[in-house]
Each structure stands twice: as C-alpha cells, then as structure tokens.
Amino acid sequence: MTTLETASAPATTTTPALACRGLRKRYGDVVAVQDVGFAIAPGQAYGLLGPNGAGKTTTISMLVGLLRPDSGTVLVGGTDLAADPTRAKAKIGYVPQEIALYPELTGRENLRFFGRLFGLPRRRLAARIDEVLDLIGLTDRADTKLGTYSGGMKRRINIGAALLHRPEVLILDEPTVGVDPQSRKAILDGVERLVGEGMALLYTSHYMEEIERVCERAAIIDHGRIIADGTRRELVSLVGTADKVELVLDGDVETAFAKLRAVEGVVEAARTGASSVRLIAEGGRYLLPALITAVEGSATVTATQVIEPDLEATFLHLTGSTLRD
Amino acid sequence: MLRALWTVSALELRTRLRDGTAIVIAVIVPVTLATLFGLALGGDDPPLKATVGFVDLDGGEFPASVRREVMAAKELKGSVTLRDLPSREQAGRELESGAIGSAIVFPAGFSESVGAGKGGDVAVLKTPESPLAGVVASAIVDRISAVVDARTLAVRAVLRAGVPGDQVKELVERNGAAGPAIGLADDPLAGGKIDLSVYYGSGMAALFAFFVVGASFRGLLTERKLGTLDRIRAAPVAAWVPVAGKAAVGFALAVAGALLNWGASVLIFGSTWGDPAAVTVVLVAHVLAAAAITMLVTSRVRTDAQADGAIMIVSFVAAFFGGSLVPVYNLPGPLQAVALLTPNGWTSKALTELAGSGAGLAAVALPVGVLCAIALTAGGLAVLGFRKGLLL
C-alpha cells in the first residue's frame, strides 16, 4: 500500500463520524475486501476511488450494515455497527448507486416512507420533507409520481431520502451517474453545503473532478485493498511533480526536437506528430521560456500546453490503464 | 420496531390494493372459477323428485306389497310419487309426454308364478330425459328381483323337500320369505358426501391463497431488484421487518380472500360449509401453511420471475394432488394418499368433514394440527434460506 503516513486523518479530539478498521470480506476463494480502514471526521468529505470490481461497493455495503464483514469493525459516531446496528444505522444516510425508490409513489410519498423507517414523528417528518424538497429543488414536483421524473430529479430524490433524519454521515455511492450537467451541479452544490454544515461525507465516483471538488481527502482502492490514502496534493505527489508539456513547432522540427531533449529538467521527450512534441519535465510550467529559447534558430514555437499532474493521472498510475470488467 | 413493521405493511397493502392485483387474485378469479366449476360440474345436487308409473296387470299380492312398501319408505317420502296406470301402453304414452319419469310393469300372473317357485319378470320403462326416475324404478325392481329370487329359491327347496303344494305358501311365509321389503339405505360417496359448490369454492380458495401470499413474498425479490430492499435494510430496522411486513399483508389478504370465497359460495349456491368457527380456523391454518410454503419457495430462488414460475408450479401441484381441482375421491387410490402430503389435501379433508357432517372444531383438530405443522416446518426452512439472501 502506498499509504502516506503524513496523510492520516487530521488530529482531532472529536469522535470520527465514521471509522472502519481491518474490514475483510471474502466470497469463496475470492477476497473482495482486505484490511480496509479509514476514518472520517465530522464535516469532512472523504472520497473512495477505485476501478470497477475494486471493492468499493462491498466496502460500502459493510459500512451501512447490508453485509456482515468476516472481520473488522465499523464505528458510526462511536457506535459499533455490529453491536448496536439500530443505533448505528440511525446515524447514517445511505444513497445507493441505483435509484432505490418506488416509481408508483410520488416524490413526497417516497420521502415519507423512508422518513418513517427512521422513526421521525409524523409532524416533524412533514416539516422535514418540505425542507429536503426545498434543498433538492423539487418542491413543485413533490406530488407527482416518481415514474414521471427525469433521471436527474430521481437522483435528487434518491439523495433527499437519505437526508430526512439529519444523518451524522452521508454515504453517496456514485450519485451523479447519468445525470445532466445542471442536476450534477445541483447535487454537488447541495453536497458541499451539507459538508459545510458539519455532515461527514463518504463519496465514491468515477468522476475524478467531482472527488477533487468535493473531497479534501480520498483513498484509492484496488483489488480489495486501499493502495493510497491522503489529501489531493499528497495523492498527486505519488506520481511525481513532473508536468506534461506539449509544443507545436514551425521550422526544422527534427533539430528542434534534439535541442529540446537536451534542456535540463526534461526527463522524457517524444514526437507526437509531424510538427508536435511532448515533453515530461520537472516543473515544466516554469521551464517554458528555456524551451522556447532552446529551439531558436531551428524552429519557432507556435503553440504550447502544460498539463499538471492530477488525481486521474495518479489513479491511472496506481491502478494501471488496463480495462476492468 | 412495530412502527417500521406497520410502515412496510402499509406500503405493501397500499401497493397491492392500488394496482388491483390483490382483489383480482384473492376474490374475483377464485369466485368466478368456483362459480363456473359449480355450475358446469354440479353445484347443489338437484332435488330428487320422481314420478314413477305403476302398472299392475297381476292384481295379486306381490305388486300390492311393493306399492305398500314404497309408499311407506321414509327415504322416498316426498321424493317419489307412484301413479297407477291401467296398461303398459298408457305408461308408454305418459312417459313420452313427460307426465311420468319411469314406469314399473307387473305382468299378469306374476304373483302366482313367484308363488309357484317359477320366478317372474318385471318390466321397467325409462326415458333418457328423466334419468333419476329411471334410477329409482330400477332400484325398486332390483330390490324386487332379490326378493323374488329368494322366494323362488325357498319355494323350490320346500317342494323338493316333499312338502305338499297347498302347504308351500304357508311354510315359506312363516319362514320369512313372504314378500318384498323395499329398503333404501343411505349410501354416501366415499370420502364423505359434499355439495360440489362447497368443494370447488373451498378448492379455489385453497389454490388462490398460494398466489395471494406468494405475490407478497415475490415482492421482496422485486424490491431487491429495485434496490429498495437494501435501502430498507440500511435503515434502523430489524432484519425481519421487510419480510414480516409483507408476510402480514399477504396473510391478511389471503384470509380475507378465502372468507369472501366462502361468502360467495353461500350467496351464489346457498351451500353450507359447516360450523363457521371451525371453517374459519381451517381456512386460517391453510393460509398459514400456504404462506410458509411460498416463503420457502421465495427464499430459494434468485429473481422475481423465477419466484413466479416456482410458486405457480407448487400451487398447481398442491391443488391438483390436494383435491382443489379434482375431488380427492375421484383420484386413484395411490393419489388419494399423496393428497395428504399437501396442505390442500388436509384442508379439503377438513372442509369435507365439516360440510358433510355438521361437525365442529374438534372434528378437524387433526387436519388443522397438520396444517400448522406444515407451516412451522416450511417457515423454519424459509427463515434459514432468507438468512443467506434476503435478511443478511
């Protein structure tokens, strides 16, 4: 595991909203999850990244009590999920990956049903449903059947059903799959607001930019194990600090390419077309003037692009680019 | 936890009533089928009313004795009317016109011939339009034949023993072979006498109880596919709540359906199922067993489509071998034994007992006990199956 010791949960005296340790689950000979552990403080957003089949859903199923781990512990707000599942589950808001709602009921009826399961008294529940409908922007469609909703609206009700009881920790399993940009923005805005209000968040997604936007910390899980865990900066540093620099040249490209390879700081160079080259360079963004100067006399630089290392690069670096499932 | 149970049950009830399946499966289809079966295959046995022509060309003691016996027979009182007719031809005309359903013709010299130990022939005139009257006339003549045979035999024996002819009659009569004694013994059907409308009404109720409770358990698999089952399980509720919530509704709907079938049978056919308390207990026990069996089936399949198929197969097999579709007494002997391996067989046995004899709860203690045992066994196995898939 490429765990960064410096990237452990921030020092805090408060009880983690969600903590798991040594989680393990196997199906026959296949170990789906092994030694998974992390902690999320109140008001902290934590991302869980992994390719398909990496163990994300199995981990989440154990965290919300749908699956009993072979070993390991889950503490929700300090309550052991195995010892007191009812109390622990009452602190969790779980939003499954699929739209897990009743299409023949209205949005309000769906919210009422799930709110009652969390034991909310009738009057308080009615008021809370109105608040949640307002939060997810569906007040005007609350009394129409879910079957008539768009995909984005269903996604928002799907999230709203997990918010009624004001959970201490919200677990979102790929909440923006298949939604339009407007709904996606609304969902992310809402999630950020909730985190800002002190709710802990566990967020899984295949969209790296969502994790980068919402989560201050993230773990990368593959083959059932957490292989990296830290803040965005810490995770990105795992693939080094080299930038990718792409140049388009006009003139004697061959000679210019040889000169560019010789510039100090350039660790890798490749021709990507008749007039284009790609360089991997430490601090590439600061090296641009030197690169332009180096080709003078042979060619002129007509276009440049600098790509800094990001979470996606880290993810692909750690999990490989081989297709899964 | 009761609130969560009520919440799940309320949604299930609302869903079932809203989409109309509950009413269709629990009431409309079984009542319609029971009515059609009852009308097509029997319903109440038609009341026995037969007018039998009586042609006495003999004028002797034997026909007079037969008439006396028929008129005095309690079993035939109010059912069979004898109409004296002067000739065989007249009887034929009356028969053709439908005024009588059958006729018995004693030929001239009949009594004398029997008295001489020579036997005699009695004619029966019948028409296909009045089968019951024909059966009655034939039954009377069969009885007469037996008496005639006995008397002929006795007379011959006495003559062969050397008794003088003028003393034969006195000797035979003194020794009990005097004349006919018409007896109509009660001859119930094997397995108990039961009105067919009761049989098909209860049979359909027993069959559709499986479908009604099965639909609720099938709903568990639909919810698993929909993802809502996991969502319920992720809420702070006990693992058994989703199963119990649906089971309670399925059970209540199936019991209500069975009771409505009973009511419809009474209203449509005027049939009597027997002691109301005992019938209710039997129906409730049957629904319990059906619920446990369909729960067991559901616990062993993966999808709602598989559940549909499996529940249908189990329901129809239990219905056929248990006598819900074909009366058990119409099945071959070995299959009658198989009937007792099904809840439908025990339910049918109990309801037949109640409808046929007017007995009370004590008479159906064994079938009810067996139904409860089936429910416990299947329910226990189902819970073990659910633990692996739907509960944990």
pLDDT for B321-345, tens place per residue? 888 888 777 777 788 888 889 999 9
SS3 A269: strand
Do A117 and B7 count as a contact with CB atoms less than 8 A apart?
Answer: yes
Location of structure tokens 């003559």: B159
* Mean of pLDDT values over B347-369: 84
User: What pLDDT digit, counting tens, does each position of B196-213 carry?
Assistant: 777 788 888 889 899 999
Residues 6+ apart with CB under 8 A from A36: A20, A22, A23, A24, A55, A59, A72, A221, A224, A225, A226
Q: Do A64 and B234 touch (CB under 8 A)?
A: yes
Write down the pLDDT at residue B78: 63
**Among A111-115, B138-142, B261-265, B288-292, where is mean pLDDT lowest?**
B138-142
Least confident of A77-86, A260-269, B62-71, B74-83: B74-83
B9: pLDDT strictly greater than 90: yes
CA dist., res. B290 & res. B293, Å (int): 5
pLDDT digits (tens, 9 = 90+) for A174-214: 888 878 888 888 888 888 999 999 999 999 988 888 888 89
Asked if residue B167 lies in contact with residue B125, where contact means CB atoms within 8 angstroms, the answer is no
Q: What is the DSSP string of A211-256?
A: HHHH-SEEEEEETTEEEEEEEHHHHHGGG-SEEEEEEEEEE-HHHH
* C-alpha A101: how far from chain center: 23
SS3 B212: helix
CB of A147 within 8 Å of any CB in chain B? no
Taking CA atoms, what residue in A is nearest to B5?
A117
> How open is the CA angle B33-B38-B40, to the nearest 5 degrees?
95
Distance from CA of B1 to the nearest CA of A (A): 9
Q: What is the predicted ipTM?
A: 0.79
Q: How far apart are CA B61 and CA B83, in angstroms?
A: 18
Q: What's residue A203's pLDDT?
A: 93
Return the CATH architecture of domain A5-237.
3-Layer(aba) Sandwich (3.40)
Confidence band (pLDDT; 50, 70, 90) for B172? Answer: low
A124 contact B CB<8A: no
Under the banding of pLDDT at 50, 70 and 90, the label for residue B179 is low
Percent of chain A scoring above 70 in pLDDT? 93
pLDDT digits (tens, 9 = 90+) for A124-177: 999 999 999 998 888 999 999 998 998 888 999 999 999 999 999 999 998 888
pLDDT at position B389 over 60: no
Q: What local confidence, expressed as pLDDT, does residue B324 receive?
A: 85
CA closest to A115 among chain B residues:
B235
Q: What is the DSSP string of B220-265?
A: HHHHHHHTHHHHHHTSSS-TTHHHHHHHHHHHHHHHHHHHHHHHHH
State the pLDDT confidence band at B235, using cuts at 50, 70 and 90.
Answer: very high
Burial class for B186, CB neighbours closer than 10 Å (0-12, 13-18, 19+): exposed
Q: How far apart are CA A175 and CA A202, in angstroms?
A: 11
| Tens of pLDDT, residues B45-95 | 444 567 889 999 988 877 888 888 777 776 666 667 888 899 999 998 888
Average pLDDT of A269-292?
A: 87
CA A83 → CA A168, B209, B357, B392, distances in Å?
18, 40, 57, 15
Query: Which residues in B lie closer than 8 A to residue A100 (C-beta atoms)?
Result: 226-228, 230-231
Instruction: Kindly report, residue by residue over B273-299, the tens digit of the pLDDT.
Output: 888 999 999 999 999 999 999 999 988
Residue by residue, DSSP assigns A133-197 as HHHTT-GGGTTSBGGGS-HHHHHHHHHHTTTTT--SEEEEESTTTT--HHHHHHHHHHHHHHHHT
Query: Chain B residues with CB inside 8 Å of A60's CB?
Result: none
Backbone CA torsion sign across B199, B205, B206, B211: positive
The secondary element (H helix, E strand) that includes residue B31 is helix B29-41
Categorize the per-residue pLDDT at A2 as very low, low, confident or very high, splitting at 50, 70 and 90.
very low
Would you kindly state where each structural domain of chain B is located, as residue ranges?
Answer: 9-44+195-391, 50-174
DSSP category for residue B328: G
Q: Do B228 and A100 touch (CB under 8 A)?
A: yes
Contacts 24+ apart (CB under 8 A), B140-145: B140/B52, B140/B66, B140/B70, B140/B104, B140/B182, B141/B104, B143/B180, B143/B182, B143/B183, B144/B66, B144/B180
CATH T-level assignment (fold) for domain A241-308 = Alpha-Beta Plaits (3.30.70)
**Rounded-to-integer distance, Cα B392 and Cα B389, Å:** 6
Q: Give the least confident one: B79-88, B96-105, B155-164, B323-332.
A: B155-164
Q: In 3D, which of A46, A85, A41, A43 has the Cα closest to residue A63?
A: A85
Q: Domain residues of chain A, as ranges?
A: 5-237, 241-308
Higher pLDDT, A239 or A11: A239
Q: Which one of B15, B17, B230 would you mutate to disrupt binding with A, by most A Cβ within 10 Å of its Cβ?
A: B230
Structure tokens at A322: 């081989």
Q: What is the mean pLDDT of residues B371-381?
A: 93
Would the pLDDT of B132 be above 80? no
Burial class (CB in 10 A: 0-12, 13-18, 19+), A145: middle
A87 lies within 8 A of chain B by CB: yes
CATH of domain B50-174: 3.40.1710
Taking phi over 0 as left and psi of -120 to 50 as alpha, with beta for the rest, A252 belongs to: beta
The 8-class DSSP code of residue A51 comes to -
Average pLDDT, chain A: 87
The distance of A79 to chain B (nearest Cα, Å) reads: 13
Of the pLDDT bands very low, low, confident and very high (cuts 50, 70, 90), residue B44 is very low
Sheet arrangement for strand A45-49: A92-95, A169-173, A200-204, A45-49, A217-222, A225-231
